Structure 1
Amino acid sequence: MYKILIIDRCSFTRLGLEAWLQQINGGSTSFLVTPLNSLLLAKAHIESWQPHLVIADFAAFQHDLQQSHFLPALLAVCEQRSRLIRLQSEPLTFKNVGEEVAKNAPIEKLERRILAVLHSWPKAHPARIATPLLTRQEEKVLSLWMEGASNQAIASEMQITGKTVYTYKRNIRVKLKVENRFSPFIPSAECVE
């Protein structure tokens, strides 16, 4: 079983790729797929989950000041631990890591590229049951937090208490190994080129 991580800001692309991969899952190759829309969360997933393949469209992240500073560190982790297929609609401003497939390429071309990259790996070991790094609630809190929502706004949106938001944020920081509550928003030295 191959583990595949999909990174894209567009929920339609993430869900579409996940559904499509599950559909072709019945063939000789089986996939365990996780879709994400946060570079910080994606970097942590690659480090802990170690997917065989990362399929990503970084275009929207490059222009987002809160996300773009995570891109170099994410690419470095991909280079060390995983294979990467970049869905490109525009040139990547950071170093070009992995293989490139045009975002508007026919789905058959993407399927051939995915299978070629996966089959170039040594024989895939059976994947252990992988638990998500963050719960769905924590992912929602992280998403709202990175959009700049206050604790009260997050609590109102999710219909939980402010204290629960604080607890979720603390758990997120521990799981993602960030030092303080501002770390997800401040470029670290390793992320700045």
Structure 2
Amino acid sequence: MFKILLIDRCHFTRTGFEAWLNRTGLFPDHFVVTSLNNLILAREHIQQWKPTVIIADLHGFRQDINHFQQLSSLLNASETVPFILLQSGEEQEMTGYLSQFPVWSSLMKNIGLDQLATVINDALTSCASIEIPKVAAPLLTRQEEKVLTMWMDGASNQKIASYLSINGKTVYTYKRNIRMKLHMDTRFSPFLSLQEVEN
């Protein structure tokens, strides 16, 4: 079973891409798609979930980072995995920085779906000789991902509890589990930049 990790800031791109992947039937074998809109969580997914292929639009996260070097831990974590870069914009400085890392393919986000399917298929078949586990489990549960997203958006425990129709103490438990799974030292870890987390 192949595991595809999609990293994109845009909710509509993530859900549309996931639906397209699941309906095409263009790819070999079965696969699981996980989509994320968080760079720290993406890095942890790469290290622990060990995806077969990573597809990412890093330009969408430009407003979240102070320096391009903050992307290095994410890109270094994916050195041995085909990394397909879908660019939603062209920023010369960022493109230059990303060229230092092994990228399987760099494409503009408005590429035709046929061409994109070919690139993904090539990346997947290049990994076919690697022994891939038959069972793929996501790092965080869907509920934990919802809690993390609201937490990073600054929602209080009560607001998260109310929105998800759960108890406030349950939110605390979810946050503790998220920190443990993502190896976060403190309750402030999700709000630190990637560089601050590494130090």
TM over 0.5: yes
Alignment of 1:156-175 (within 5 A): 156-175=162-181
Judging changes above 3 Å, is the alpha-carbon distance between structure 1 residues 47 and 27 closer, same or farther for their aligned structure 2 residues?
closer
Deviations 1:92-133 (A, max 9, x none): 624333121110011111111112222233514343211221
Aligned mates of 1:45, 1:176 — CA distance in 2: 9
Residue 106 (str. 1) matches residue 74 (str. 2): no
CA contact (8 A) 1:21 1:31 kept: no
RMSD (Å) for aligned C-alpha atoms: 2.4
Is residue 146 from structure 1 mapped to residue 149 from structure 2 by the alignment? no
Residues 70 and 159 (structure 1 numbering): CA distance in 2 closer, same or farther, change over 3 Å? farther
- Structure 2 letter corresponding to 1:162: G
> Mapping of 1:58-137 within 5 angstroms?
58-65=58-65, 71-79=71-79, 81-91=80-90, 93=94, 94-96=97-99, 97=101, 98=103, 99-121=105-127, 123-137=129-143
Structure 2 Cα separation of the partners of residues 191 and 165 of structure 1 = 23
1:4 and 1:177, CA in 2 relative to 1: closer, same or farther beyond 3 A?
same
Partner of 1:54 in structure 2?
Answer: 54
| CA displacement at 1:14 relative to structure 2 | 1.3
Q: What is the one-letter code of the residue matched to 1:95?
A: L
Residue ranges of structure 2 left out of the alignment (5+ in a row)? none
- Mapped to 1, the partners of 2:73 and 2:90 lie a distance apart of 18
Q: 1:146 to 1:65 in 2, by over 3 A?
A: farther
How far apart are residue 190 of structure 1 and its match? Answer: 6.8
Cα distance change, pair 190–154 in 1 and its aligned pair in 2 (3 A): closer
Residue identity opposite 2:37 in structure 1: N
1:19 to partner: Cα distance: 1.9
TM-score (norm 1): 0.86
Partners of 1:44 and 1:95 lie apart in 2 by 20
Unmatched segments (≥5 aa) in structure 1: none
Aligned residues: 190
Give the structure 1 partner of residue 187 of structure 2.
Answer: 181
Shift of 1:49: 1.3
Aligned partners of 1:130 and 1:113: how far apart in 2? 23
What does the per-residue CA deviation read over 1:161-180, in whole Å, with 9 as the maximum and x for residues that have no partner?
A: 22111111111000000100
